[in-house]
């Protein structure tokens, strides 16, 4: 090697790659608009907080007490009575047909049992096909029953022995947007980085331009770096766009420093650019590259804590999840945005993400260099 | 005498167990136009790649522009131009953008790039197409652009892998005129082709068949190779209106070893001592001829195939 790394050659590659991006509106559209559309979809449509579960009521008692009981269910705002029915068949049908998720049956002897200081039963039927709805319904109806029972026991003056006063930190309204959008931002960055870079070398293979490049003095490192710089820029732009929309449209407050987040996003992006590049060296068509990129992305989306909380995963998968850079950046993003975390809290994330980024990038570069000769 | 541009001795390239180029030796002098011929898959492209240092040599040595291709392939690549058999520039970039990219890759300064681009635009007449997307250019112009990009860094040697495949005759002639102008400037050219007329234009020709470089020399030297006209035989050119019918007949005569149609005539390799009557050629016009390059390649390919 007569001369080392050349910035000029790297720049030439980067400029060319940038031109490819702006000449290919489909990719640009895919890269910029799809994430924004998804942001709006997730921001507006999805709400994991279960509210107003459609409920059918069969009140066989029809006393003042039973009606108060039903009002209590409604006042909790977790239940919304969609219909009062007069037979069990009707109630069952409502649930089976999906018109109601919960059925409340108050038996004829409800008030009599209470007066007799015996345990009064109400039957709560819960449609278990949506686990989060079922869980919430179960949880709230138990709480209501308990509260009602305690009232029977205690005088109004008596104090509860234990009074739990939960206070939800950082996201007091438990808004879904606050939970989802930081994760979405990370997932979108991942998708873009891996998709773009998986295509980067394959496209040149398909067109035969790679062979031509091999005949020039350009080195593997220069080619790779030159190709990745525009994608890195694009990914950062996307990240910033989502961040801005999150803050301005969805009013998710950013409690930490954006710079902190950027410093963690940079190595994260590198790790996926590296992965995409690795894919690029393995396959020969863009279709295959797309498939492989998808295959790599899916597990890291599902296991990263983006949708399903990490803490409720089986131990094995919890460990698997730690392998994905996505897991670390999602956690860090929520930390910075919602909890105002800084480097003192996120130093481990930082170390891990930088390590992953550098290792993945160099593995890809080495693999590529090997294929080159 | 100036040093040779290419000095390859016993070059061998293997992919695993498969030998793609076997013991090939050739030289190319400065300013020489060297033609490399052979069937598809015979090893032409691999030989070129070996000479560029792109694939390691399993045996032999090759010095290109004074640098050993095995140890100094980067230096070699910095001084050669390469034009591949399919158009391998960026179709979504304009002519100018393609040129700027290669100028950057070859390390030209902005000033150098501008001067050289102007020079090459004047040489190739690319001027009116500078802002067109490369993908929209016609075949001939695409080839010119590819050549132009390969010339930006003033290489002293250019490899052209089937540069004229699939372009029209006018563009083909223009391209060859351009190549000869480069050759006159002292640039060596190694051109692979399937066209015999192009082979005839080359100063020297190499013929590669099933990984073996069977012959290297001027077209004249190749035609005079002893194997092409075995002792006791001679080449005839036979003219007849019904060449196809005549060929049928001639192929049945044992004393005629080979017969092929060339336009209005038949090229035949016949036993020397036979009279025209014995050859069944009494009523047609017959002249003594020299073998064409195609005759040469067909004959030596058959001889080689018979050996294996």
Name the pLDDT band for B225 (thresholds 50, 70, 90).
confident
Name the pLDDT band for A1 (thresholds 50, 70, 90).
very low
Residue B195, token pair as written in the block: 């066209």
d(CA A253, CA A262): 17
- pLDDT number for residue A302: 83
CATH number of the structural domain A53-169: 3.40.1710.10
Cβ-contact B198, B176 below 8 angstroms: yes
Element (H, E) at B307: helix B293-307
Of B90, B105, B159, the CB nearest to A216: B105
Which of A64-68, A171-175, A297-301 shows the lowest mean pLDDT across its residues? A171-175
- The arithmetic mean of pLDDT across residues A316-323, rounded, is 87
Cβ–Cβ below 8 Å for B77 and A217: yes
Tokens 């501008």 sit on residue: B114
- pLDDT number for residue A283: 85
Which of A11-15, A98-102, A156-160, B23-27 shows the lowest mean pLDDT across its residues? A156-160
Cβ-contact B151, B81 below 8 angstroms: yes
Nearest chain A residue (CA) to B51: A215
- The arithmetic mean of pLDDT across residues A152-168, rounded, is 70
How confident is the model over B79-108, as pLDDT tens digits? 888 888 777 888 889 999 998 999 998 888
Q: Is the pLDDT of residue A372 over 70?
A: no
Of A1, A208, A217, the CB nearest to B86: A208
Q: How many CB atoms lie within 10 A of CB A109?
A: 14
CA B93 centroid distance within chain? 29
- pLDDT number for residue B33: 92
Mean residue pLDDT of chain B comes to 85
Nearest to B120 by CA among B187, B74, B167, B29: B187
How confident is the model over A204-226, as pLDDT tens digits? 888 888 888 888 888 878 888 88
Tokens 């990719």 sit on residue: A27
Min Cα distance B88 → chain A (Å) is 4
Cβ–Cβ below 8 Å for B77 and A19: no
User: CA B275 → CA A55, B129, B245, B255, B257, distances in Å?
Assistant: 112, 61, 21, 10, 15
- pLDDT number for residue A2: 40
- A41 or A103: which carries more pLDDT confidence? A103
Residue A156, token pair as written in the block: 């109004």
Angle between helices B110-124 and B169-184 (to 10 degrees): 130
Q: Is the pLDDT of residue B143 over 50?
A: yes
How confident is the model over A272-282, as pLDDT tens digits? 888 888 888 88
Q: Is the pLDDT of residue A373 over 60?
A: no
Q: Is the pLDDT of residue B34 over 90?
A: yes
Cβ-contact B193, B162 below 8 angstroms: yes
Name the pLDDT band for A47 (thresholds 50, 70, 90).
low
**B159 neighbourhood in chain A, CB within 8 Å:** 215
Alpha helices in chain A (DSSP H): 7-23, 25-40, 64-75, 88-96, 110-115, 131-153, 176-207, 209-214, 220-248, 258-282, 286-303, 315-321, 325-339, 343-372
3-state secondary structure at position B217: strand
Give the start-to-end residue ranges of the domains of chain A. Answer: 53-169, 176-372
- The arithmetic mean of pLDDT across residues B146-160, rounded, is 89
Cβ–Cβ below 8 Å for B97 and A16: yes
A148-162: b (≥16 Cβ within 10 Å) or e: beeeeeeeeeeeeee
Q: Is the pLDDT of residue A232 over 70?
A: yes
Mean residue pLDDT of chain A comes to 84
Q: Is the pLDDT of residue B11 over 80?
A: yes
Cβ-contact B128, B141 below 8 angstroms: no
Cβ–Cβ below 8 Å for B104 and A373: no
| Neighbouring residues of A98: CB distance < 8 A, sequence distance ≥ 6 | A127
Let me know how long chain A is: 373
- pLDDT number for residue A300: 83
- pLDDT number for residue A355: 93
Name the pLDDT band for B189 (thresholds 50, 70, 90).
very high
Q: Is the pLDDT of residue A172 over 80?
A: no
**A208 neighbourhood in chain B, CB within 8 Å:** 84, 86-88
Q: Is the pLDDT of residue A65 over 70?
A: yes
Nearest to B146 by CA among B79, B86, B78: B86
3-state secondary structure at position B200: helix
CA B210 centroid distance within chain? 16
């Amino acid at each position: 090697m007569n001369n080392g790394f050349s910035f000029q050659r790297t720049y030439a590659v980067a400029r060319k790659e940038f031109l490819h991006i702006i000449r290919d509106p489909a990719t640009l559209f895919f890269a910029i608009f799809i994430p924004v559309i998804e942001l709006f979809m997730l921001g507006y449509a999805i709400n994991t907080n279960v509210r107003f579960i459609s409920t059918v009521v069969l009140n066989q008692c029809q006393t003042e007490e039973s009606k108060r009981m039903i009002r209590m269910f409604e006042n909790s705002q977790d239940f919304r009575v969609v219909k009062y029915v007069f037979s069990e068949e009707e109630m069952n049908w409502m649930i089976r047909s999906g018109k109601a998720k919960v059925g409340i049956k108050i038996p004829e002897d409800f008030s009599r049992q209470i007066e007799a200081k015996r345990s009064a039963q109400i039957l709560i039927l819960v449609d278990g096909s949506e686990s989060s709805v079922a869980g919430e319904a179960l949880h709230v109806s138990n709480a209501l029953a308990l509260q009602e029972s305690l009232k029977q026991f205690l005088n109004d003056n008596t104090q509860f022995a234990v009074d739990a006063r939960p206070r939800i930190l950082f996201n007091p309204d438990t808004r879904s947007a606050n939970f989802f959008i930081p994760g979405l931002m990370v997932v979108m960055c991942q998708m873009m980085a891996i998709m773009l870079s998986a295509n980067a070398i394959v496209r040149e293979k398909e067109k035969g331009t790679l062979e031509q490049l091999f005949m020039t003095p350009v080195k593997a490192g220069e080619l790779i770096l030159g190709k990745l710089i525009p994608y890195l820029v694009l990914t950062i732009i996307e990240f910033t766009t989502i961040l801005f929309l999150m803050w301005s449209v969805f009013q998710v407050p950013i409690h930490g420093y954006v710079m902190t987040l950027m410093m963690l996003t940079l190595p994260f992006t590198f790790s996926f650019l590296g992965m995409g590049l690795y894919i690029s060296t393995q396959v020969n068509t863009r279709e295959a590259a797309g498939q492989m990129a998808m295959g790599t992305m899916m597990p890291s989306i599902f296991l990263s804590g983006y949708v399903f909380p990490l803490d409720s995963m089986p131990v094995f998968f919890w460990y698997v999840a730690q392998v994905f850079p996505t897991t670390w950046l999602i956690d860090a993003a929520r930390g910075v945005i919602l909890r105002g975390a800084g480097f003192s809290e996120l130093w481990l994330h930082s170390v891990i993400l930088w390590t992953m980024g550098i290792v993945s990038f160099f593995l890809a570069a080495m693999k590529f260099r090997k294929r080159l000769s | 005498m100036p040093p040779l541009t290419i000095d390859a001795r016993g070059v061998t390239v293997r992919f695993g167990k498969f030998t793609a180029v076997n013991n090939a030796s050739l030289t190319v002098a400065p300013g020489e136009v060297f033609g490399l011929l052979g069937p598809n898959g015979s090893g032409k492209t691999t030989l070129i790649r070996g000479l560029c240092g792109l694939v390691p040599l399993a045996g032999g040595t090759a010095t290109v522009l004074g640098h050993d291709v095995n140890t100094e392939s980067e230096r070699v690549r910095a001084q050669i131009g390469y034009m591949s058999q399919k158009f391998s520039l960026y179709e979504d970039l304009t002519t100018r953008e393609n040129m700027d990219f290669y100028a950057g890759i070859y390390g030209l300064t902005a000033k150098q790039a501008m001067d050289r681009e102007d020079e090459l635009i004047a040489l190739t007449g690319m001027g009116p197409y500078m802002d067109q997307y490369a993908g929209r250019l016609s075949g001939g112009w695409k080839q010119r652009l590819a050549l132009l990009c390969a010339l930006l860094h003033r290489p002293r040697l250019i490899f052209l892998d089937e540069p004229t495949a699939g372009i029209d005759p006018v563009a083909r002639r223009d391209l060859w005129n351009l190549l000869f102008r480069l050759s006159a400037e002292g640039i060596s050219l190694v051109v692979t082709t399937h066209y015999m007329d192009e082979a005839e234009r080359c100063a020297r020709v190499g013929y590669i068949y099933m990984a073996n470089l069977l012959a290297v020399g001027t077209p004249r030297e190749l035609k005079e190779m002893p194997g092409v006209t075995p002792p006791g035989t001679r080449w005839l050119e036979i003219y007849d209106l019904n060449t196809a019918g005549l060929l049928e007949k001639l192929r049945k005569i044992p004393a005629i070893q080979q017969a092929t149609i060339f336009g209005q005539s038949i090229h035949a390799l016949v036993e020397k001592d036979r009279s025209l009557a014995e050859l069944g050629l009494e009523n047609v016009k017959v002249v003594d001829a020299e073998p064409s390059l195609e005759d040469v390649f067909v004959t030596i390919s058959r001889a080689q195939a018979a050996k294996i």
